[in-house]
Structure formats: structure tokens, C-alpha cells
Structure 1
Amino acid sequence: MYVMKDSEYMFVFTGPDGSGRKTVADAVAQTLGIRKVPGYATRKPRPGEVDGVDYHFISRTLYDQLEEDGEFLESIELRGNKYGIRDKDVARAFEKSGSVYLILNREGADILKEKYGDHCIRLFIYADRRTVEERQRALGLPDDVIQEHLSRYEYDMEYQSQCEHAFENYDLAHTVFDITNTLEKYLNRGLVDKD
């Protein structure tokens, strides 16, 4: 397991599917220059997902081999698919950047929080149920996938109180601004908001 320096942080964006956590996370990271650690998944890419950017989409056989070899820092099974983060990917990202970000569900976020403690900051991104459904329909996700996600909505929303920060996401620019200001306090780079 990668041992973080005092000034390094792992920012974990979490929240219900359709909350916009990926869009928000990528925009915040671009603003702050934080490197993403994409996970591994045994499912097929969804509309708009790019292999190697959103996830490394691999076979179940390869995933199981990597898991058996102890490659994953965290690994979960959800709805018949496996998801994980490789330890060496985290280490490589930290070598290139003082902090990293990941986009995970609550189970993965909990595993990393347990491993990294105060250096793992969970950012809960949310919107109301109707909005998350509309966003998923706009992405062209199949009805069965949307229904699976909505069946977890209340369960995912319960996680908000356990996260270090929570942000309602209806206006992307506003949400990104708020999160950027929040993360600047952790990054402590001496940047001043002149507004």
C-alpha cells in the first residue's frame, strides 16, 4: 500500500449514480491539476465511457488473476461486476501529482477511508431522485441499468452524513467553484480568492 506524505491527499468523489460526480470530479481536477486514478471494471463500457479514462475495462478472468496476485488496493463486487483500484496505479499517480482523485461508490470509498484515514477526503455529490433519473436517461443508459441505480438511490443518499463534505449538484459551475475552494484548504497552496 502506498504511504502518503503529510501533504498528500486522496479525494474520493462519491454519491448516487446520475448525481454528476464524474463530471464534477473531472472539472475540479482540471481546475486544480489533480491526477485521476481510474479503476478496473469487469463490465462493458456504458455510453460515453472511455477505456483507460473512466475505467480500465477488463475480463473477469484477468481481474480475478490481478486480485489473486494482490494487485488491488480495494476491490468490490456490485451487481455481478467487479471493480477495483490497483495499488501501483495510486503510487504512480502520487509520483506525478501531490494529490489524486477517484470516483467510487460508497463501498469503495469506505475501504480507502479505512486504509488512509485523514488523507482520504470523501466528497459526496448529490441531486434529487428525479434529476438523477433524467440525467441517466439523457446519457442513453438502458432502462434496466437506470432502475438498478434508482433502487440504490436511498441507500447511496444515506452515505452523505458519513462523508467529510457534501455538495448539491444542480449548477455545474457553482458546484465546481464550491468544491475547488474547499479542496484548496487541503492543498494549502496559498492561493487567495480575490472576489
Structure 2
Amino acid sequence: MYQLKEKEMIFVFTGPDGSGRKTVADMVGTTLGIKKVISYTSRAKRPSEVDGQDYHFISREQFEEGINNKEFVEVTEIDGNFYGIKGYDIEQEFKNNDFIYLILNSSGARTLKKLFGEKVSRIYIYVDRDIIIERQKALGVSQEIIDFHFKHYDEDMAYKDECKHAVENTDLAHTVFAVTEILEGYMDRQLEEKD
């Protein structure tokens, strides 16, 4: 497994489905020039998703082969689909960057925290259930998909207290600003230690 150097850090964005964690993470990552490590999944691609941008979409057989070859540092199975992060991808991003970020569910975030300890900072993005429902209905998401997203909502919300940082995403611009400030705090601290 990759050993993080003193100045290196992993930011993990987590929170319930529909909370905007991916949007917030990507906007903050772009603002601060932090590279994203993209998860792999065996589930089918949704219409709005892009392979290599949202996930690396691979077959269940390819995923199982990766597990058998110990390529994954973290694997979660949700509703019969695998999700995971490859150790090689983390190592590659750290070749040119001191900071990286990932978007994971609570199980994946917990695993990375166990593996890398203090080198992982978890940022929990959440929204009230009713706001998520409103947003998803406004986007034309079917009731079936909304119900599916809420299957794990309470379980995901219970993870909030384990994370050092929790930001309610009621206003995207404010959320991105708040999270950017949180991450800058870590990045400035690391830069100061170099002097």
C-alpha cells in the first residue's frame, strides 16, 4: 500500500445521495487545483454520467479480477454493485500533487480513514431530506429513483458525526466557499511547515 509523505493529504467528500457532494467536491477541487481520484464501479452508467469523469465503469468480472489481484485499497458493495478505489490511482496522483480528493460513501470514507489515518480529512456534505426530494423532482427524477436514493439516507446521515467537517448544502455558492476555506486551512498549514 502507498505510504503518504509528510506533506501529502487526502480529502474525502461524503454524504447522502442527492446532497450535492460531487458538485461541491468538483467545484472546490477546480478552485484549488486539487486532482480527483475516480472510483470504479460495476453498476450501469446513468444517462447523465460520463465514463472516466464520474466513475470508471467496468464489468463485474473486471471488478472481481481487480479484487483478486489486490488492486483495490477500498471496496464497497451497495445494492449488488461494487464500488472501489485502486491504490495505483492514488499513488499516480501523488506523483505530481500533494493533495488529492475522492468522493465516497460512508463505508469507503471509513475505510480510507482507517488506512491513512490523520492523512485523511473527511468533509461531510448534507441536505435535509425534503430539500433533496424537491431538487430531484425539479430535475425530473422519477419517484422510483428518488425512493432508491433514500434507501440509505438515514444510515448515511448517521455517519456525519464521525467526520471532522460537516457542511449543510442549502446554497451551493456558500457551501463551496465554506469548504474551500476548510481545505485551504490544511493546505496553508502544510505549506507553512515547509519553510
Query: Same fold by TM-score, threshold 0.5 exceeded?
Result: yes
Identify the residue that residue 178 of structure 2 maps to in structure 1: 178
RMSD: 1.3
Alignment of 1:24-173 (within 5 A): 24-173=24-173
Separation (CA, whole Å) in 2 of partners of 1:137 and 1:82: 27
* 1:35–1:97 Cα contact (<8 Å) kept: yes
Superposed displacement of residue 146, structure 1: 2.0
* 1:46–1:141 Cα contact (<8 Å) kept: no
Separation (CA, whole Å) in 2 of partners of 1:122 and 1:24: 13
Give structure 1 stretches of 5+ with no counterpart: 191-195
* 1:48–1:139 Cα contact (<8 Å) kept: no
Superposed displacement of residue 135, structure 1: 2.8
In the alignment of these two chains, the number of paired residues is 190
Identify the residue that residue 21 of structure 2 maps to in structure 1: 21
Q: Which moved more, 1:154-163 or 1:128-137?
A: 128-137
Separation (CA, whole Å) in 1 of partners of 2:82 and 2:54: 15
Separation (CA, whole Å) in 2 of partners of 1:123 and 1:39: 17
TM-score normalized by structure 2? Answer: 0.93
Separation (CA, whole Å) in 2 of partners of 1:119 and 1:52: 25
| Aligned-partner SS, 1:5 | coil
CA shift in 2, pair 1:141/1:66, >3 Å: farther
Separation (CA, whole Å) in 1 of partners of 2:140 and 2:151: 18
CA shift in 2, pair 1:46/1:8, >3 Å: same
Identify the residue that residue 11 of structure 1 maps to in structure 2: 11
Superposed displacement of residue 140, structure 1: 4.5
TM-score normalized by structure 1? Answer: 0.93
Superposed displacement of residue 98, structure 1: 1.0
- Percent sequence identity is 51
